[in-house]
Structure 1
Amino acid sequence: MTQNRTLIFSGGNLGSWALKKIAPGDFLLGVDRGAYFLIENGISPDMAIGDFDSVTHSQLARIKEESKEYLSCDPVQKDETDTEMAFNWALQRKPGEIILLGVLGDRFDHSLANIHLLAKALQEGVPCCIVDEKNEIFLIKDQAIIKKDQFTQISLLPLTQQVTGITLTGFQYPLYNATLVVGHSLGISNVLSGETGKIELASGLLLIIKSKD
């Protein structure tokens, strides 16, 4: 099984920023229109997966021809979104990390479902994050070290009904043994006070959303 990073390019918001995330050795998985995005930019996906109902016949022909591997499914007779299907395929390969790109967009239901995929990766012990031009999102169940970068705002939101024992060090607005519950915005828009910050928690699943305006 491979231990390299897998970058999943789905059909949501994508741009030149996404191409900059690619590093040598990455496994590139294109999902539906995300596969065509890579091909349009001169990159052959290692794998293309989806029902391909969001591309034209000529675009699909290029995807089939220029992808190293290709896997299609029926657009109706399926129980998973294209992104979840690709995500599950990637998880089975046991990659060192999964980065989800183009999984946020105009369809909020799909965006929220894709955020929930972070819980599945956490359960499987595979590091995973969602990245777009202005956000980086990941999920923790114990602790994380946050380093200062281009994302200046750091928000904490519970993915479970409540998250307990939250302690923040190195942040402008520290917390000690705090509890966040669904429907409370206490964790929104914090900032680092130095070069690094630490987030610790006792129970629950906590979304970390790094963002910039």
Structure 2
Amino acid sequence: MNNILELPQLIAKFSYELPKNQTVLISGGNPPDVQWLKSICENKNIFCADHGIDICKEADIKPLQLIGDGDSATSEAWQWAVDNDVTITKVPTKKDVTDTQLALQIIDDKYPASTVILTGAWGGRFDHAFSTIFSFNGMLNKNFCGCIADEKEILFFLHNEEHLTLNLKQTPKAISLLPLGGTCSGVSINGVYWPLDQVMLNNNLPYAVSNEVNNKENTIWISQKQGILGVYLYFE
């Protein structure tokens, strides 16, 4: 079963089969490390949202498509996309969705079954990060799955009875479980300093934060029974 997603920091094993098509969406937040970015872009479809084209230009990674209104991308990077025959979807500045939300919709339309790594999403404005996290989560199903990641931060999503095994190549500074949909029940985590067994987490008091790896195998096991659970890792 194709249920493995590999990043430079870890290997994630999901409880369901992942779509074979793999896509990277580069958004306009904090730019990821260039070498990290190049490693995850190998053999994948590359899209970028607005200022993400500056990240592509800096890393010399040609995307298949640029989606945006041009309000945050530099004119030099936009022209670089033109010169390199990147497909450009120019959208109005005044619209009901963000460039990243629109890019996610375009990817879903073009590749109805896809494993997506969204990067360049951390840092910058909190409202954009909030919108991106919940928009990404809202699109997740068995045909659209993946994570939000860069070299320092990774966020996975578990829905209802899904579970996740993380084989770590680097040890994270912190592991946090975030109830994103109100309440998560039957939550368990093992391989950490503070394990949990079939507990309930509520977003009114999200206490399962800043956990640490606590096993020689550098493996973490997370599961839940019901809810929308964010699995967040921070690397120094």
Instruction: Say whether the fold is shared (TM-score over 0.5).
Output: yes
Q: CA RMSD in A?
A: 2.0
The partner residue of 1:127 within 145, 152, 159 is: 145
Tell me, yes or no, if the aligned pair for 2:57 and 2:77 is still in contact at 8 Å. Answer: no
- CA gap of 1:42–1:177, structure 2 versus 1, over 3 A, is closer
Aligned equivalent of 1:148: 168
The partner residue of 2:187 within 151, 159, 166 is: 166
- Give the Cα separation in 1 of the matches to 2:200 and 2:135: 24
- Give the Cα separation in 2 of the matches to 1:40 and 1:171: 37
**Which amino acid is 1:204 matched to?**
G
Between Structure 1 and Structure 2, how many residues are aligned?
211
Residue 62 of structure 1: how far off its partner (Å)? 2.4
**Which amino acid is 1:176 matched to?**
D
Which segment is superposed worse, 203-212 or 50-59? 50-59
Which segment is superposed worse, 58-67 or 168-177? 58-67
Aligned equivalent of 2:228: 205
**Which amino acid is 1:31 matched to?**
A
Residue 124 of structure 1: how far off its partner (Å)? 5.2
1:111 matched to 2:134? The reply is no
Unaligned residue ranges in structure 1 (runs of 5+): none
TM-score by length of 1: 0.90
Between the aligned residues of both structures, percent identity stands at: 29
- CA gap of 1:55–1:36, structure 2 versus 1, over 3 A, is same
Where do 4+ consecutive residues of structure 1 move more than 6 Å? none
- Give the Cα separation in 1 of the matches to 2:192 and 2:84: 47
- Describe the superposition over 1:64-97 as per-residue Cα deviations: whole angstroms up to 9, x where unpaired: 2324311110111x21100010011112213431
Tell me, yes or no, if the aligned pair for 2:53 and 2:77 is still in contact at 8 Å. Answer: no
The 5-angstrom pairing of residues 1-213 of structure 1 reads 3-14=20-31, 15-76=33-94, 78-92=95-109, 93-123=111-141, 125-141=143-159, 142-152=162-172, 153-194=174-215, 195=217, 196-213=219-236
Tell me, yes or no, if the aligned pair for 1:134 and 1:151 is still in contact at 8 Å. Answer: no
Unaligned residue ranges in structure 2 (runs of 5+): 1-18
